[in-house]
Amino acid sequence: MSPCVTKVNSNLAAVTFFAKTHAGDVCGSNGLPLTPNSIAILGRAQYLKTIEHPNLCEYLDIIRGKHERTIIVSEYAGAPLDEKIKICNDVKTILRIFYQVAEGLNEINDHGFACHNLEPSNILLDSQNNVKLFNYGLFYMTKQGEYVSFPIGNIRYLPPERLLGSQNNIKSDVWSLGMIIAELFLECQFWSSLKISNIIRKILSLSNVSKVFEKIAREHNCFEKYDNLNSDVRELIERCLSTSISSRPMPNDIINNKLFQENIETYAYKAPPKPEQLLLRCPLKQVYYLWQLAGGDVQTELKKEGLIRSEAPILSMPKIVCLNGKIGGSKRSQSHLADNRIVILRLNNLVERLRKVPSMAYFPLIHSPKFAVHYGAGMEQLPLVIRERDTEYQFYRVMLFSRMLKGYPFTRDMIIKEAQIDIPPLLRGAVWACLLDVIEDGSYERIDKVTPTSTDRQIEVDIPRCHQYDELLSSPEGHRKLKRLLKAWVASHPQYVYWQGLDSLTAPFLYLNFNNEERAFLSLYKFIPKYLHWFFLKDNSAVIKEYLCKFSQLTAYHEPVLAKHLNSISFIPELFAIPWFLTMFSHVFPLHKIIHLWDKLMLGDNSYPLFIGISVLKQLKSTLMSSGFNECILLFSDLPDIVMETCVVESQKMYSVTPKSICYRKNVLHEVDPGEFDISDISLSELQGEVSPRISANDLIDLIFNGKDAVVILDLRGSLEFSRMRVAGSINIPFTTVLLGDTRLESLGVPNLESILADKIVVIVSVVHENAVLFSKFLIDCGVSRVCVLHQGFNILHAVVPSVLVST
C-alpha cells in the first residue's frame, strides 16, 4: 500500500444547485403541504444510484441542504473533455470518444430516460481515454427540469427541437454528441464569440438545412478539414446532426456502425490498471460511506470552495409580502444562482484513518478457518452507536459482510452469527433479507400492483401519514413505491386484508431497500408469517387476544409486581399494546430506533417481540407503579423517549433465559408437530383464565438435567403422595395447606422460601390444574418472579424416560 497519502486521487465529487421553491401556496388541494421540490428530487434521484456502467459516472448520494439546496455526490473519474481537448486531435481518439459516449447514451436510453445535459465538460476521460459521462441524470432527477428554475443543458449543443420545447428523446442527445464530435474533428468551438440569443438563432436557422455538418464547417472556414474526413465518419456525423429527428441514429445504431465494429477493440472501454491503493478498488459506494464516517462532510467541502455561502438572514428579507403569500422587493441573492463548479471530495483523511488496516482485511477469507483473523475484535463491547460510527470498525464489518453476502444463501449461518454482533448500516437491507431467508427470484414483477381494489382508498390516506419526517418516505417516489408494495402484498395474500399499520410495518423495509422494491417486498413477505402469523386475517381478534394474553402472562412471569399493579388498575394490554405488536413497534418508534430494534428481532423467533414489550414496560416501571389508570394510558398515548439500547439488551436477556414453551401460542407457524411432552392446543379461554404461563415437560426436564439449579419445583400434591414419588429436590406445599387470601410467602411455612425461589424458574406441579393456576396467582401476588405451571401436571412426568422421579 502506498504510504504517501497526499497523492491519493479521489474520484468522488459533488455538485450543487437549488430546487425551485413553491411560490405562494404552501398547501395542495388536499390540504397537505406541497412536497418541497428538493424532496421530490431526492426521491427520484435514488434510482440513478442503481445505474452501473463503465461509461457512466456512478451516482452516490443526494443530500438536501437548507433552502431547497440539493447536493449530488457522484463519481468523477479523469478530466473533462474541454480540458483535454488539445490531446484529442487524432482520429482514433475522437472516434473512441464518439463510440463510448454512444455506449453511455445507450445505457441511459435503456433505463428509459434521456440525458439532455451532454457537453464537453460532462464528458470525462481517464488515463486510458475511456469516457465516463458525468451529471447525466440532472434532467431525469428534476423531472424534465420541472423542479428547478434554470434551464438544463448547454445551449451550444442543443438541437433545434429542444429549443422549441421538445424533450425526453434520446435522439436530442445524439445531436449533442454529433456537435461535440464535429467540433473535435474541425478543431474549433462553434459560435464561440456569439451571444446566447445569436446561438439560438443560428441553431434554429439550421432547421431547414439538409447537411448541417457541412454548413457549419463552411461557416467556420473548416471545409477543407470536413472534406478530408473519412466519408463514413463524415456520413455518420452528418446523420447525427440531421434536423429531422427520425433520420438521426439511435445510440445503439452508432455503436453498431461498421466504422466501430470493424475495429472494436480500438474503441471499446479498456479497464484502467487497478489502482495501487486497495481502498480505491472497493466499490465507490463503500468508499463514500467510509469517507463520511472518517469525518467527511459534503456541505463543509462545498463551503470551503465557496459554493455554499451564508448570508445574513436580514439581507434576504422581502420588502413586500402580499396576502396571497407572494413576496417581492428582495434582491435576487447571488448565492442562490446556479453554479456548476465541481468540488472534489478528498480522501486523505479516510486513507489516513485506514492506514493501519492490513491488506488481508480487504479480502476476508471467510472459508479458511486458518486465516480467520477477527478484525475489529474487542470492539464488540463498545456501545452500538460508537461502533456504527467508527471508520475502521465499519470498514472491517463492511468488508466481511459484503464477502458473506456474495456467498448467500450458502453463507447464511455465518451471516446470522455475525449479525448477532451487529449489522453494518450500509448493508442492513441486504443483511435483513438474508436473515429472513429471502431469495430474489423476480416474482415481485409478476404481482399485480396496478388494478384498483377496494383497499386503495385506505392505503392512499395512510401513506401520506406514514413516517413522513423521513425525506425518502415523504417524496412522491416514496409514496408510489409504498403504495405498490402494499398493493402487491394484499394482492398476493387473498386470505389476508389490509389493516392500518401494515403501512408502518412496510416502511422500514422500503426505507432500507428504496432501490430494490423486490427485496423490500420479499422481506415483508417473509417477515409477516414469522412474527405476525394470522394477524392480518379479516377477523384477527382471536389471534390478537391470544397474543395480548401471552403478553400479560409473560409480564407476570418477568415483572410480577408491575403486572399485579397494572392488573389492579385494569390497565389491560388491549388498550395500549395493539399498535405495538400489530406493527412490531414500527408505528410507535421513529425509523432510526426501529432499525436497531429489528436488528435483534430478526435474530429471534416469534416470541421476541413480547420481550420487547416487557422491556418497554420495565423502562417505564417506576412511573407506571406510581400512576393510576389515566396517567398510565396517557403515558402510552404519547410514548416517552425509550432508550433503545437498554430496551434491546433487556429484551435479549429475557428472551434468552425464558424456556421456549413458556411463550407457547397456538397461532404461530408451527414448523414441527408437538410431541407428547410439548405444549399443544391451549384454547383461548383456558389461556385467559391463567395468570402464569405453562411450561412443557420437555423444557422442565431440560432444566432439571442441564439447568444448573435454575429451577425450583413446587409440588402441590398431598404430603403422602409426595413422599411416595417426586422429582428429586422438589419442595412439597400441599395445596390444602395454602391460605390463598394471605399473600405472604411466610404463610406457606417453608423456611427461607423467598431466598430459595429467588432468581429461579419456579415450576408449579400439581395433579389438579385449577389448583396450580390459583397457586400461581398467589405467588405473583407475593411478588415471586418466573412462576410457571407444568403443562399436564405431575402425571406427565411418569411417562418421562429416563425417569426424573424418585421414590422412597
Partner 1 sequence: MATTPRGGGTAQRPNGASQNKICQFKLVLLGESAVGKSSLVLRFVKGQFHEYQESTIGAAFLTQTLCIDDTAVKFEIWDTAGQERYHSLAPMYYRGAQAAIVVYDIQNQDSFQRAKTWVKELQRQASPNIVIALAGNKADLSNSRVVEYEEAKQYAEENGLLFMETSAKTAMNVNDIFLAIAKKLPKNDGAGNQGSGQGRRLAEVEQNRQTNNCCK
Distance of closest approach, residue 501 Cβ to partner 1, in angstroms: 5
Distance of closest approach, residue 565 Cβ to partner 1, in angstroms: 14
Closer residue to partner 1 (CB): 104 or 609: 609
The DSSP annotation for 739-779 comes to -TT---GGGG--TTHHHHHTTSEEEEE-SSHHHHHHHHHHH
User: Residues near 300 by Cβ (< 8 Å), separated by ≥ 6?
Assistant: none
Least Cα distance to 690 among 563, 532, 542 occurs for 563
Closer residue to partner 1 (CB): 443 or 455: 455
Closer residue to partner 1 (CB): 424 or 573: 573
Closer residue to partner 1 (CB): 49 or 481: 481
Distance of closest approach, residue 639 Cβ to partner 1, in angstroms: 11
**CA dihedral angle for residue 600, residue 603, residue 607, residue 613, rounded to 10 degrees:** 0
Least Cα distance to 349 among 293, 390, 309, 404 occurs for 293
Closer residue to partner 1 (CB): 269 or 580: 580
In contact, 63 and 300? CB cutoff 8 Å: no
Closer residue to partner 1 (CB): 33 or 409: 33
Q: Interface residues with partner 1 (CB under 8 A)?
A: 29-33, 458, 461-462, 464-466, 468-469, 474, 497, 499-501, 503, 538-539, 541, 569-570, 572, 574-576, 578-579, 582-583, 587, 628-631, 633-634, 636-637
Distance of closest approach, residue 361 Cβ to partner 1, in angstroms: 44
Closer residue to partner 1 (CB): 375 or 589: 589
Closer residue to partner 1 (CB): 76 or 576: 576
Angle of CA points 244, 249, 252, to nearest 5°: 155
Cα–Cα distance for residue pair 508/516, rounded to 1 Å = 13
Distance of closest approach, residue 477 Cβ to partner 1, in angstroms: 17
Closer residue to partner 1 (CB): 57 or 524: 524
In contact, 493 and 533? CB cutoff 8 Å: no
In contact, 709 and 804? CB cutoff 8 Å: no
Q: Kindly list the distances between the CA atom of residue 671 and the CA atoms of 135, 605, 668, 674, 735, in Å, as whole numbers in the listed order.
A: 52, 12, 9, 9, 38
Distance of closest approach, residue 47 Cβ to partner 1, in angstroms: 24
Closer residue to partner 1 (CB): 256 or 688: 688
Distance of closest approach, residue 490 Cβ to partner 1, in angstroms: 13
Distance of closest approach, residue 423 Cβ to partner 1, in angstroms: 27
Closer residue to partner 1 (CB): 292 or 583: 583
Q: Report, in angstroms and rounded to the nearest whole number, the Rg of the chain calculated over CA atoms.
A: 34
Cα–Cα distance for residue pair 209/197, rounded to 1 Å = 20
304: exposed, middle or buried (C-beta count within 10 Å: 0-12, 13-18, 19+)?
A: exposed
Cα–Cα distance for residue pair 43/46, rounded to 1 Å = 6
| Strand locations in 34-185 (E) | 59-64, 69-75, 79-80, 123-125, 131-133
Q: List 694's β-bridge partners, or say none.
A: 789
Distance of closest approach, residue 461 Cβ to partner 1, in angstroms: 4
Distance of closest approach, residue 575 Cβ to partner 1, in angstroms: 7
User: Residues near 67 by Cβ (< 8 Å), separated by ≥ 6?
Assistant: 18, 21, 336
Q: Is-cis flag, bond preceding 251, omega within 30?
A: no
Distance of closest approach, residue 323 Cβ to partner 1, in angstroms: 16
Cα–Cα distance for residue pair 654/606, rounded to 1 Å = 14
In contact, 651 and 547? CB cutoff 8 Å: no
User: Residues near 563 by Cβ (< 8 Å), separated by ≥ 6?
Assistant: 552, 555, 556, 691, 780
